[in-house]
Amino acid sequence: MTPVFNMKYALITGGDRGIGRSIALKLSSQNIFTIISYRKREDEAITTLNYIKSKNGQGDVIRADISNKEDIEKMANYIKEKYGGIDILINNAGVGFSSKFVEISYESFVKQIQTNLIGSFYVTKLLIDNMIKKKWGRIVFMSSIAGIFGAEYLTAYSAAKAGLIGLAKSLAIEMAKNNITVNVVAPGFIETKLGKSYFEWLDSIGYRESEKNYLSIIPSNRLASEEEVASLVSFLVSEEASGITGQVIGVDAGASLTPGSVYKVNY
């Protein structure tokens, strides 16, 4: 396919569902060609792409396990050969497993670091060249308030998401001269399957009505939404946000304003 002149090309890893899907839909509505990567839910990715096309947007889907080096290389080669590269990269794909620290396995810890941190690094490394060549680019890493404050029973996830912040800040310094911004979006617990699974796991180990009690200590008494996260990402990749780089911006409905709400499940 011949790239469309004057159209920006974006890759959203893990764009088949949840926050990634909301970001893909938001960007595609702004005349951005949206490439969606998925690991195993091809039907979800195609559903997202069909919705984009139904709204006169353009996009593509590609399977890639972001924890797998060879998959990332195949994905990057496919994008370069077919579209010449990308202008916008949203490193959204990630995994998180709840576990007490003394019970977490070595394999589980490594899997979360490999997917959330190393995978995002390698995708960026292989696809940043087109941005450097054009002297324009936007990179967003999806971290978490768990990566800023930590979160009980999410040790590996928090470590990986904290690593993304260090990666983004350092890369932002290096890429500023190329007019490439690099920022971090740090959602709190969001109304997604991943967020729900955390509260379900807490209930399974003895907490009662953990989600209800968690909401009670958030100033807004609610979780932030996928759409609110997508709106922030949409702004960060726009021309209007050219002066914003190396920043970590939370979308948590005020959770991080409440002492203890993101540090410990203390209810």
Could you give the angle at the alpha carbon of 108 between the alpha carbons of 77 and 100, nearest 5°?
Answer: 145
Task: Dump the DSSP string for 37-48.
Answer: EESS-HHHHHHH
CA 211/CA 198 separation, integer angstroms: 9
Would you say 85 and 79 are in contact if contact means Cβ atoms under 8 Å apart? Answer: yes
Paired tokens of 224: 């932030």
The conformation of residue 152, written as its DSSP 8-state character, comes to: T
Distance of CA 266 to the CA centre of its chain: 27
Tell me which of 9, 83, 157, 214 is the catalytic residue. 157
Respond yes or no: is residue 78 known to be catalytic: no
Nearest to 217 by CA among 152, 262, 154, 151: 262
Active-site amino acid positions: 157
